[in-house]
Amino acid sequence: MIILGLILLIVGYLLSIPLLTTVGIILLVVGAVLALIGSVGSHPIGGRRHYY
């Protein structure tokens, strides 16, 4: 999810498409939060232990 967000962010910036840039930023943030929650390892979130 983080890699997809990064790709969309770069493509949206290079092609000057604000929608792709916005979606890329959102995916980066959500992916970072899920990675942080998954690294804590206290308990599965939403029934999933890993989000990748």
For residues 27-47, average pLDDT: 77
For residues 41-49, average pLDDT: 62
Q: Across all residues in the chain, what is the average pLDDT? A: 82
How distant is the alpha carbon of residue 21 from its chain centre? 12
Task: Please state whether the predicted TM-score (pTM) of the whole model is above 0.75.
Answer: no
One-letter amino acid for residue 47 of the chain: G
Q: Classify the phi-psi angles of 46: left when phi > 0, otherwise alpha if psi is within -120 to 50, otherwise beta.
A: left
How distant is the alpha carbon of residue 49 from its chain centre? 17
- Confidence bin at 25 (pLDDT 50/70/90): very high
Q: pLDDT above 90 covers what percent of the chain?
A: 40
Q: What is the pLDDT of residue 48?
A: 64
Q: Are 35 and 49 in contact (CB under 8 A)?
A: no
Q: Which residues contact 52 (CB under 8 A, 6 or more apart)?
A: 1
Q: What is the DSSP letter of 34?
A: H
